[in-house]
A and B are shown apart, each in its own frame.
Chain A
């Protein structure tokens, strides 16, 4: 018995290590790349550590940061993603609550439509949206990106959240109402806190989608007024158009990853806190 469990532990450790290496190797490589000088890359520097004389220190980071367009893109990305996430989560929470709690005609329709939208290929919408946004003046603006981000993240958020709401016993809410709460107070003070893990899961998913989007970002913007990071990175061109500044791009990519890591760490604690306070009876 002891032998078997030891073997199992070792197996789990090896498996976890494999997955970690698999996931983190590209990240590590980007970090390595971002510390190499442009010349050494052009000349060929295949090693993980920079070749002699090829170490660029923080030069690439400073250069990326000093690029006005890139700084502006970071601001755009953070702003657009946060607003899209906030709106999406609010709307999804209300919608999911209604779906979980109320019996109304067309509930199935709402849910299937939502699912259909989530499965819709993003690319197919770019053309029509481009035309539409130009016509109504949303092209190259923040709302011009926030709206499509919301429509693609809402369905998943609604599904996730309504599953969470369904798990919360009706009695919680009824108890709150008997205790003197209005429906809105019961929702805000009892239901939402209990669904917090779901709310934060939905928030993370939405934020990821918005933050990582490239297709909308490149197609629906033309200037730094709204261009997000992924699109902006594609405008990093050095002196030689046939030789992209890989190390600069790498530094930009690393900078773009930092907010995501911060957000995941913050939200993750909320998710864990929510999950452990869940027990109702027993």
Chain B
């Protein structure tokens, strides 16, 4: 077992485009770290550089105490689960799991003991003599995991392991992986573009955008203190709402009316003019359902509700608004970065299932402004971020940590 340190890792493919650009991540021994980001942001490339399937253009990859940049995959002692599982179709499940052991020259007795232990853990006992081609997606997934856990690897690497499974199985396998990692206590790097997996599995999550590390923090820190617009928009489902905001003292002018924000936040954005306010759907509530005790931490406003989706335990309501061009442009760019296609500016709010708000109503909505963030529309930087509870945000650390050109 070992920790993994990435220092200023850069990867340029043949065309000179940096698929991974100056990424530094320090993974402690036994830690579960997620690499997350929209498709094409360089997650797989980074993972493949850890395991040695891709050359590192510059920077240092250190596993344990050893710099491994120039080591072949087989000399790095890492186990990887591929997106398409990459099982050997000509071998039985047993031999698939035994493959790394056989290569290492283990004795038959040793191989048998370890394979059976792994197959018992993954409930594959009755499939050991079958070929992968005859297994279901979930079973293949487990065989791939078996092949990984059977050896005493220094770390596990997963590349979107659940993306080929249906939703129900994905949920099951997700808990399975979490359980297994806890049990084995092995350093794990897990690539996904699914933010549920990112939020539930990882000790820490690294958010990447176009090859650049945006923020490295615990799931809660990412959710509560996103470093910039991109992270704020990527983490959370339904995503955070972004509204044009004009700050004057502790008063913030939103398209739906004026709300009050806490003084400490107001201080950070004093005199900045037009900003983008980020408010999570869950920060809103039907004003008539808010506790007396909670009400003072937020403000209320009245707005027309266009669409209502009642889901039983909660209700989603959609409120359209107009944004000025500066904000509009930044939001469109953000949508592009996030792989999204939502072109309308609308507020999505999540209300209690008991709410009686109807489509077309002019509803009284309460918003918890203590959770509201304010972003610079030009740079996307989060001006109200609490740096003590936001993990690491390379962008804000300044150029000091950057050593490579």
Contacts and interface: CB of A to CB of B under 8 A. Distances in A.
B89 A177 contact: no
B82 interface: yes
A178 B99 contact: no
A281 B134 CA distance: 10
Chain A CB count within 10 A is highest, among B51, B84, B85, B131, for B84
B53 interface: yes
Interface string B111-137: 000000000000000000001110001
A128 interface: no
Contacts of A194: 88-90
A274 B147 CA distance: 23
Contacts, number: 78
B231 to A, nearest CB: 31
Contact of B133 (A175, A180, A278): A278
Nearest to B140: A281
A281 B164 contact: yes
Given A169-B84, A177-B53, A280 B89 contact: yes
Contact of B84 (A177, A190, A281): A281
Interface string B77-89: 0111010111111
B89 A277 contact: yes
B89 A179 contact: no
A135 to B, nearest CB: 47
Contacts of A171: 82, 84, 86
Contacts of A172: 86, 88
Nearest to B131: A277
B178 interface: no
B74 interface: yes
B84 A178 contact: no
A258 B86 CA distance: 42
Contacts of A182: 72, 74
Interface string B39-69: 0000000000001110000000000000000
B103 A185 contact: yes
A140 to B, nearest CB: 43
Given A171-B84, A280-B89, A179 B133 contact: no
B236 interface: no
Contacts of A190: 88, 90
Contact of A174 (B79, B86, B87, B104): B86
A170 to B, nearest CB: 9
Contact of A175 (B78, B80, B131): B80
A178 B104 CA distance: 12
Given A277-B89, A278-B133, A179 B99 contact: yes
A209 to B, nearest CB: 28
A265 interface: no
Given A176-B99, A177-B73, A178-B78, A280 B53 contact: no
Given A177-B53, A194-B89, A194-B90, A279 B133 contact: yes
A278 B52 CA distance: 27
A181 interface: yes
Contacts of A280: 84, 86-87, 89, 132-133
Contacts of B18: none
Contacts of B88: 172, 175-176, 190, 194
12 contacts: A175-B86, A175-B88, A175-B147, A178-B78, A181-B74, A182-B72, A182-B74, A194-B88, A277-B131, A280-B84, A280-B89, A281-B140
Q: Can you list the 7 inter-chain pairs with the closest CB atoms, starting with the nearest?
A: A279-B133, A175-B86, A171-B86, A179-B100, A180-B103, A177-B73, A193-B90
Given A180-B103, A181-B74, A194-B90, 8 more contacts: A172-B88, A177-B73, A178-B73, A180-B104, A194-B89, A274-B90, A280-B84, A280-B86
